Homo-oligomer: A and B are copies of this chain.
Amino acid sequence: MSSEFQQRAAELIDAGHLLYARGMVPATSGNFSARLPDNTLAITVSGRHKGRLDDGDIMLADAAGHSLDGNRPSAETLLHVQIYTRFPDARCILHPHSVNATLLSLLADGDVELRDYELLKAFPGIDTHECRITVPVFANDQDISRLATVVETRMANTEEVFHGYLIRGHGFYTWGNSVEDALRHAEALEFLFDCELRRKGVSPK
């Protein structure tokens, strides 16, 4: 493996430990990847526990998400491929699966709108709390190719800049130009989801 692969793998492993400690990747939920300079992907192997990741849990795939080393990548690899294709600067994708994200995705009517929070400045290009970002909520689908098309269609048909999205009952995706950036976005979204959920209150179904 290249040293580039090894560095990104080490960062993804650390991200897993950190997100697990915050309750954001329980059981074997979640998956992570980083895009290398040659457009291959360092990505979590399917079914591994993100809080106990080690070297053998990060594998190499090509830009289309096909395994290059015989391991089986996350079942949701095509969602990673869609994001990397849509955002040429994206270098890391994190998919946490927190209680806050799961609940908010189930309780939201349509998309989640976040506004007036200072922490919105954690996202690129935002320098004031006096703004609004939209976090789309997509229906869950076990057909990942179809879900990736739904996500791509939504992104292709808007001027809005997205920094993450929710899948109903299934956590959220976010990305950045480095593992550090993606982690900052994951922490910010988790914080904002927590705020939104508590402002909403959680009432009888």
Contact = CB atoms under 8 A, between A and B. Distances in A.
A169 B180 CA distance: 24
B29 A119 contact: yes
- Secondary structure type dominating chain A contacts: loop
A129 B169 contact: yes
Interface residues on A, range: 35 or more
A28 interface: yes
A201 B199 contact: no
Contacts of A187: 26-27
Interface string A161-200: 0000001111100000000100011011011001100111
B117 A102 contact: yes
Given A169-B129, A201-B203, A205-B200, A29 B118 contact: yes
B201 A118 contact: no
Looking at A49, A168, A190, A202, the one whose CB has the most chain B CB atoms below 10 A away is A202
Contacts of A191: 26-27, 99, 102
- The 10 A-B pairs at the shortest CB distance, nearest first, are namely A118-B170, A27-B122, A27-B188, A26-B187, A27-B187, A26-B191, A27-B184, A198-B202, A128-B142, A117-B169
Given A27-B185, A128-B142, 6 more contacts: A27-B191, A49-B184, A102-B117, A102-B191, A116-B168, A198-B202
